[in-house]
Amino acid sequence: MQHPSPPLVICLGNVVADHVFRVDDVPQPPAKAQARGYKLSIGGMAANAAIAVARLGGRAAFWGRVGDDPNAELLTGGLREEGIDLTGLHVFPGARSPVSAVLVDRFGERAILGFRGEGLGTDPAWLPLDMMRDASAFLCDPRWPEGAAAALTAAEALDIPTVLDGERSETRLLLDLVPRVRYAIFSATGLNNYAPGQRIPEALRRAVSEGVTRMAAVTRGEDSTLWLMRGETTPRETKAFRIEARDTTGAGDVFHGAFALAMAEGMAMEDALRLASASGALRARDGTTAHRAEVERFIAEYGTG
C-alpha cells in the first residue's frame, strides 16, 4: 500500500532576514562596539511557521514577497533547504526585502531594529490560489493583509481550516482579518491591539462572535494559553511546559505552525494545543525549531516526569 503524502499547510505572510549580533551591552550612540557573535537567521511569523510545519512532518508552502537583493537569496536558500515549496514566493524587481538587526545582550535581552522592506506590491493577483485545492490547512500573519484576505476567501470556499497569527499590528487590520479565520490565535500584545483595554475573556468572546471564527486563543509565553470555543463563555486553559528559556524569539511563530499542522492532521483541539505548546517551549528552550520525534518524546517524558 502506498503511504499517503503528508498534509500540505500553506503559510502566507512575513519573511525577514534577521541579522543577529551577540553583544555585551547594546551600545548607545555615539559608539563603536565589537559583537561576540553573529548569525543570519530566517525570521518572520509565517516563514518560521512554515519551517515548523516542515520539521514536524508536514508539507509546507510559503507565500510571500521579497525584493531582488542579497537578503532575498539568503532567505530563499534557507527556506528551500527546509524543503518548503516556494511557488508562491514572489520576487519583486528593484524591491528590498524585509530585514532586521537584532542585538542580543549578555542577559539575553534584545534590541530589534526592523525594516519592513520597500517596493513590495500589495496586490495579491499573482498568488497561486489553485494550490489551495491541495492544502489541508492555511495559516497567515497580519503583515500582508491583502494577500491574507484573498487566500482566506479561497480557503473558506474549499472548507479548509484557517489559522491567524494575531500578532502585534494595527487594530483595524486585526478587526478585518479575525472574522475571516476559523482559529484566531493572538499573542498577548496582539489581543490587546484587537480589543484595546478589554480583559482576555471579553476579547476572546468578541473574536468568536462573528464571521467564521470557531475558536480564539491567546498565548502568554511561560504562562498558560487561554482558548475559547464559539458557543462557550469561559476560556479553557492549556498549561505551558516548564522549561529554562534561552531564546524565546520565534516561539509564537512555531506554536502557530504546529497548531496549523495539527488542524491539517485533524487532531482534537486539546491535543493540537498541547503539540503547539510543546513545540513553542522547545523553541524557547533551545533557540531552534524541533523535529516531530523530539516534540513527541518531550510530551511523553514530560507527562511522566
Ligand X SMILES: Nc1ncnc2c1ncn2[C@@H]1O[C@H](COP(=O)(O)OP(=O)(O)OP(=O)(O)O)[C@@H](O)[C@H]1O
- Chain residues that interact with ligand X, rule: CB under 6 A: 167, 187-188, 219-222, 225, 240-241, 243, 245, 248-253, 255, 277, 280-281, 284
Q: Which does 92 bind (CB under 5 to 8 A by kind): Mg ion, ligand X, none?
A: none
Site for Mg ion in 152-181 (CB under 5 A): 167
Partner whose footprint covers residue 248, from Mg ion, ligand X, none (CB < 5 to 8 Å by kind)? ligand X
Minimum distance between the CB of residue 91 and ligand X, rounded to whole angstroms?
A: 26
Least CB distance to Mg ion at residue 33 (A): 29
How is the beta sheet containing 16-22 ordered, strand by strand? Answer: 37-43, 16-22, 99-104, 110-115
Nearer to Mg ion, 9 or 95 (CB): 9
- State the Cα torsion 104-259-279-281 to the nearest 10°: 60
Q: Is 187 in the site for Mg ion (CB under 5 A)?
A: yes
Q: Which is nearer to Mg ion, 198 or 248 (CB)?
A: 248
Identified binder of Mg ion from the candidate list 252, 260, 276, 290, rule CB under 5 A: 252
- Quick one: what does residue 147 bind among ligand X, Mg ion, none, with the CB cut-off 5 to 8 Å set by partner type? none
How do beta strands 183-187 and 215-220 pair? parallel
Please tell me the count of residues contacting Mg ion according to CB under 5 A: 3
Q: Where does the chain have alpha helices with state H?
A: 45-55, 70-81, 145-157, 171-177, 188-194, 200-207, 251-264, 269-286, 292-304
> For 157, phi and psi rounded to 5 degrees?
-60, -30
Closer Cβ to Mg ion, 92 or 241, answer by number: 241
The yes or no reply on residue 289 touching Mg ion (CB under 5 A) is no
Burial class for 210, CB neighbours closer than 10 Å (0-12, 13-18, 19+)? exposed
Whichever of 6 and 221 has its CB closer to ligand X, that residue is: 221
List binders of Mg ion among 79-138 (CB under 5 A).
none
What does the DSSP assignment read for 92-147?
A: PTT-B--EEEEEE-TTS-EEEEEE--BS-----TTS-GGGGGGEEEEEE-TTSHHH
Query: Least distance (Å) from ligand X to the CB of residue 128?
Result: 27
d(CA 213, CA 183): 6
Contact 208, 195 (CB under 8 A): no
Comparing every residue's Cβ against Mg ion, the nearest one is: 252
Report residue 164 as a C-alpha cell: 491567524
Site string (4-43) toward Mg ion, x via CB under 5 A: ----------------------------------------
Residue 250 beta carbon to ligand X: minimum distance, rounded to whole angstroms:
5
Sign of the CA dihedral running 168, 138, 67, 102:
positive
Closest contact distance (angstroms) between CB of 289 and ligand X is: 11
Q: Which does 240 bind (CB under 5 to 8 A by kind): Mg ion, ligand X, none?
A: ligand X
Tell me which DSSP letter residue 231 carries.
T
Q: Is the dihedral of CA 175, 12, 192, 280 positive or negative?
A: positive
Give min distance, CB of 100 to ligand X, in A.
12
Find out whether 227 and 239 touch, Cβ atoms under 8 Å. no
CA–CA gap between residue 288 and residue 48 (Å, rounded) = 10
Cβ closest to ligand X, residue 95 vs residue 284: 284
Nearest approach in angstroms of CB 116 to ligand X is: 16
- d(CA 188, CA 107) in angstroms, rounded, equals 23
CB closer to Mg ion out of 18 and 167: 167
| Residues engaged in binding Mg ion (CB under 5 A) | 167, 187, 252
